[in-house]
Chains A and B, each alone.
Chain A
Amino acid sequence: MALTDHLTEPSIETLNGTNKATSNISVPNSIEIKDVTVSFKTKKGVYTAIKEISLDVKKGEIVSLIGHSGCGKSTLMNTISGMVSPTTGTVMANDNIVKGPGPDRGIVFQNYSLLPWLTVYKNIYEAVDSVLHSKTTTEKKEIVTNALAMVNLLPHKDKLPGQLSGGMKQRVAIARAFAISPQILLLDEPFGALDALTKGSMHIELLKLWNLDNRNKTIVMVTHDIEEAIFLSDRVVVMNNGPAATIKEIVDIPLERPRNKKDIVHDPKYMEIHDKLLGLLFDKFSINDIH
């Protein structure tokens, strides 16, 4: 697939023939994080990763968490997935308090986390089988086949993950997360291990899947790539450096969708946001001031 053919995020209109109101005012919250602190017990004592963080994410919104390595952005996201329990505070997802991982929240891990002894097809099937256990085998198989078709991996369905490139593995992981049709999709540095070209086409693929679903899925993504965060997100959450990391600033990305990777960089608004984020991430004095 040539990158140049896919510079533009496909619009809802072209994919579904419907239009969704873009106003966020009446849209309910999908995720509500209230005063969340996460501390770990270590040999050297208690380590506080994130401190008193509050954040609401609306349904259908794409939010990126950005910050330096070790700033606790993954920890924050793991409180939503339920992999990490907050020491204090609460996390609500789809109007339920998060007590552990659940099928309403699909996760795409940084290192793909495919099971190497299962074929591509089986990797997705086992997840679907586990989450949608009330469906018949025929229905489950259809879901898996559709998920694989969405990411153009049907010809590779019988391969083992070890036979795939990094980009293909990540597409399998994304297909797996989409296959269980979760309300919320959590992506932990999903494209961090990919080369720039693959990354670019993966961005478009992700937005395509999001649009195919009428932009109903809420997506929270951890990244340290400013361009990626701007291109994909509605809002970018910039975090302070840890320990005891907090939210430094939330930057709105008012760029119209569908976005085009090539055109967007010439947009004055894009450049303004880019500069702002760069300043927020690399101005060390202001970080020290806040502590």
Chain B
Amino acid sequence: MKKIFTLDTLYTILSFFASIFILIAIWEIVARATDRQIPGPASTWIVFKELIAEPFYDRGPNDKGIGNQLLSSIGRVFTGFGIGSLIAIPMGLLMGSSKAMMRLFNPIVQILRPVSPLAWFPLGLLAFQAAEGATVFIIAITSLWPTLINTSFGVATIPSDHKNVGKAFGFSKWKYVSKIMIPFALPHIITGLRLSIGVAWLVIVAGEMLSGGVGIGFFVWDSWNGLSLEKILIAILIIGTVGLILDKIFNAIQHVFAWENK
């Protein structure tokens, strides 16, 4: 049996707290150096306690609790990420399985991939006539590339040993795709998804700053307008923590589907 609590896990926990301590220390130094123009940890903590005392209040369209803001951001991220993945995975499978498709679509991918999410925003507004649709659109279009590229790479690198099994036993197209292509590419696809969700979460703040409405990005912008720097700092910490949790979730999924290690 594996021991659940070892000396190693103790070190990990201690290191984590040390790491948090270093962050707070730097923060305090910066706060003092700027003559508390940037608020320190202590005053931020007070505002934080107020914020989370009632996270889900709703007093009209421009005044909602931090929990509401966060949930609507997460919802938007998963919608955009989901739509992006639904496009990226089939496209990746197609590009990876055919050299002709790769040659045909790879230049498009390479041209569109480095485009900033903000540049897409006006196009989204035009297409959807609404800020909500535009935000989801820019998340989808900027987050789909890592999944697409990883999926096509995974499929393109299927070893000939595996392909030969399909040939030798006359696998149908569908059997080949479902029993050889997708299982082999799956770890690559999940790595792609992990990178994509990171990008999606990165894009959300910028998107919501432009679009307004409800969301953590709007919260940051609204706090700036209300000159509450404490709230901005809290939002930054929350954004970072949620990003970390999302990454950990996909990391766990990655381990579940890694047939190589079994």
Contact = CB atoms under 8 A, between A and B. Distances in A.
Contacts of B165: 113-115, 127
A107 B168 contact: yes
Of the candidates A117, A127, A160, the one having the most CB atoms from chain B within 10 angstroms of its own CB is A117
Q: Sort chain B's interface into a size bin.
A: 10 to 19
A162 B258 CA distance: 12
A260 interface: no
Nearest to B180: A115
A163 B169 contact: no
B162 A113 contact: yes
Interface stretch (B33-41, B171-179, B232-240, B243-251): B171-179
Interface in A235-284: none
Contacts of B162: 113, 115
Interface in B214-262: 259-260, 262
Contact of B164 (A83, A106, A162): A83
B179 A118 contact: yes
- Residue among A81, A107, A115 having the largest count of chain B Cβ atoms under 10 Å: A115
Contacts of B133: none
Contact of B259 (A83, A103, A117): A117
Chain A, interface SS category: loop
Contacts of B161: 109, 111, 113
Interface in A116-172: 116-118, 126-127, 129-131, 160, 162-163
B183 interface: yes
Contact of A81 (B168, B175, B179, B184): B168
A217 B35 CA distance: 90
B262 A109 contact: no
Interface in B149-183: 161-162, 164-165, 167-172, 175, 179-180, 183
Nearest to B172: A130
Given A113-B162, A118-B179, A131-B170, 13 more contacts: A83-B164, A83-B168, A101-B167, A101-B170, A115-B165, A116-B260, A117-B184, A118-B183, A130-B169, A130-B172, A130-B175, A160-B259, A160-B262
Interface of B: 161-162, 164-165, 167-172, 175, 179-180, 183-184, 186, 259-260, 262
Interface of A: 81, 83, 100-103, 106-107, 109, 111, 113-118, 126-127, 129-131, 160, 162-163, 176, 180
